[in-house]
Amino acid sequence: MPYDLVIKHGTVIDGSGLPRYRADVGVRHGRIAAIGRIRERAREVIDADGQVVTPGFVDGHTHMDAQIFWDPLGTCSCWHGITSVVMGNCGFTLAPCGKAERHLVVRNLERAEDIAAEAMDAGIDWTWTTFPEFLDRVESLPKGINYASYIGHSALRTYVMGERAFEKEAGEDDLRAMERELRDAIRAGAVGFTTSRSPSHETPDRRPVASRIATWDEVRRLVGVMGEMNAGIFELAGEGVDRSVDHPGLRDYHVRLRDLAVETGRPVTFGLFSRREAPGVWRTYVDLLEETAAAGGRMFAQVHSRALSAVLSFKTQLPFDRLPVWKELRALPIEQQKRRLSDPDLRRRLVEAARERDQRRAIGTEARPAVYDWLFVMDTVEGPHRSVAEVARERGVDPVEAMIDLALEKDFDLFFLQPIANEDQEIALELIKHPRAVVTFSDSGAHVSQLMDSSLQTHLLSHWVRAKQALTLEQAVRMLSFVPATYWGFTDRGLIREGLAADLVVFDPDTVAAEMPEVVHDLPAGAKRLVQRTRGIAATVVNGEILLRDGKPTGALPGQLLRGPLARRA
């Protein structure tokens, strides 16, 4: 019987961490049917000579819940070898929620995750109320890659409590209603439950998102539902006790997390970053992972492959946007801003105004007040990147003047990187290598004009494998495929094995790398976002069909909804 697809002459790195070997890979009916020397005919053939063939990469931390309705391909993730993603992180989902109450869900998402309300209004055909109905809708959509979803606490709260969710603790009737909805969601295929207790998550009117009003007892009750069902992962954006050294609430928070994992038996996961303003605090979280394991609980950290940086530019956001003089300039169309910046008097006033401090607290990946030694010129993807302070000293000008000149010299096609966390790359590497960590946390679909981390997987390959030689290619591929597939329970993905789903990536390890980001206006209602493509990836295969060849879509949309374990058993 002929194959649907054969990838010939490639070097297989199978995701397990075992050494590479040369082999063909044959695919039939969306599954890997044979590995070895294949002589039979195939409907399609990929010549992978000089390339490696790996399992598709899995991203466990995205916010593509809204984007899936207007972007069938799943960009930018699909461009970087991602074949499966998990959405619904940090308590933010579009369900449960009826169409008439969708403004409550939008309120949770708009500022906390930088998803434009007008884009969601124009781009989403709201046809569901319950979470099972939402999953059925996702399953019916054309999809390039695979999607799994949590159910989010903020949506669950607003569905049950309405406006009270932003103001009050839940009563017993509210809790029982939330428990019922959570049970239904897990049975229908939610892969878990998520929440946010993070001070970074606010509504546009600067109130806490709905999940932040919940008591810890409410969180325990809901995670306890998953414990009773023996299904589901608990993911959370934490309480912000990692932002300073010797925070008085740090140990109490860690004990609560440890005890929750032990009591419920459910895996607990969260993002883990080092921070220069809180040196050493990250290590207490590493200790927590080991302490929880010793106590009989399951806990793993989600870590990044580089510094977590806001991406700034005159086309998106700057640290000065809400300051006097700047506010008026930044309200103008881009071309007018360029012309106005040739006025020496205006430039002098802009430099003076930039010395003031914005009174509104920046959250998430919003631009912080400028510290010019920690604001970097992104003139290349890989770097090293010079600081704005260094460039200003070389030119003998104020740092703000240097930023203006640099941007004008590139016709505003220039980005500045403002690290928010993970500034120390030696610590980042230590976290990458930790056995209870998984390299993920792209936030794809969120912070769309502020952040560009869909490329963190290709950065792992180009930087830590090729440039630094700190990891072998086998180690890195395992980190991006088998490890996240295992943590999130995708039992038929993450390895190249006969019988498993044919999610595959063919790439050149000598050239694979992210390209420079760019600003586009391709969201519904013309809203803008940052995008970043890659080079060196010859083909991306999803469920046995070629989704991309050399980064270009083939027209196939073979992605699937990946339901959780209880739905699969049913």
Q: pTM of the full predicted structure?
A: 0.97
213 pLDDT tier (thresholds 50, 70, 90): very high
Q: Is 300 helix (H, G, I), strand (E, B) or coil?
A: strand
**Which of 552, 485, 550, 511 shows the shortest CA–CA distance to 146?**
485
Q: Tell me what pLDDT residue 237 has.
A: 97
The tokens describing 105, both together, are 């869900």
The tokens describing 240, both together, are 């912000």
Q: Tell me what pLDDT residue 51 has.
A: 98
Triad 180, 185, 189: Cα angle to 5°: 150
| Long-range own/partner contacts, residues 160-165 (CB < 8 A, 24 or more apart) | 161/210, 162/101, 162/104, 163/104, 165/104, 165/210, 165/213
**Which of 283, 290, 192, 302 shows the shortest CA–CA distance to 242?**
283
What are the backbone angles phi and psi of residue 413, rounded to the nearest 5°?
Answer: -90, 60
Mind listing the pLDDT tens digit for each residue in 441-484?
Answer: 999 999 999 999 999 999 999 999 999 999 999 999 999 999 99
365 pLDDT tier (thresholds 50, 70, 90): confident
| Mean of pLDDT over the chain | 96
| Mean pLDDT, residues 131-141 taken together | 98
The tokens describing 524, both together, are 């519904």
Q: Is 537 helix (H, G, I), strand (E, B) or coil?
A: strand
Q: How far apart are CA 31 and CA 25, in angstroms?
A: 10
Find the length of the chain.
Answer: 570
Residue 364 pLDDT > 90, yes or no? no
Q: How far apart are CA 196 and CA 363, in angstroms?
A: 14
Mind listing the pLDDT tens digit for each residue in 217-228?
Answer: 999 999 999 999
Mind listing the pLDDT tens digit for each residue in 267-309?
Answer: 999 999 999 999 999 999 999 999 999 999 999 999 999 999 9
Q: What is the DSSP string of 410-462?
A: TTT--EEEEEEE---HHHHHHHHT-TTEEE----BTSSTTT---TTHHHHIII
Mind listing the pLDDT tens digit for each residue in 480-524?
Answer: 999 999 999 999 999 999 999 999 999 999 999 999 999 999 999
Q: How far apart are CA 193 and CA 195, in angstroms?
A: 7
Q: Tell me what pLDDT residue 366 has.
A: 87
Q: Tell me what pLDDT residue 115 has.
A: 84
Q: How far apart are CA 475 and CA 16, in angstroms?
A: 8
Q: Tell me what pLDDT residue 357 has.
A: 80
Residue 358 pLDDT > 90, yes or no? no
Q: Tell me what pLDDT residue 275 has.
A: 96
Q: Is 254 helix (H, G, I), strand (E, B) or coil?
A: helix
Non-local (6+) Cβ contacts of 200 within 8 A are 112, 237, 240, 363, 364
Question: Would you give the end-to-end CA distance of the chain in angstroms?
Answer: 32
Non-local (6+) Cβ contacts of 127 within 8 A are 99, 133, 137
Q: How far apart are CA 120 and CA 46, in angstroms?
A: 38
Q: How far apart are CA 273 and CA 90, in angstroms?
A: 16
Look up residue 554 and give its amino acid.
T
The tokens describing 360, both together, are 């509104």
The number of beta carbons lying within 10 Å of the beta carbon of residue 86 is 27
Mind listing the pLDDT tens digit for each residue in 198-212?
Answer: 999 999 989 999 999
Non-local (6+) Cβ contacts of 161 within 8 A are 168, 170, 174, 210
Mind listing the pLDDT tens digit for each residue in 157-181?
Answer: 999 999 999 999 999 999 999 999 9
Q: How far apart are CA 216 and CA 254, in angstroms?
A: 13
Relative to beta strand 82-87, strand 146-149 is: parallel
Omega before 279 within 30 of 0, i.e. cis:
no
| Mean pLDDT, residues 393-401 taken together | 98
Mind listing the pLDDT tens digit for each residue in 18-63?
Answer: 999 999 999 999 999 999 999 999 999 999 999 999 999 999 999 9
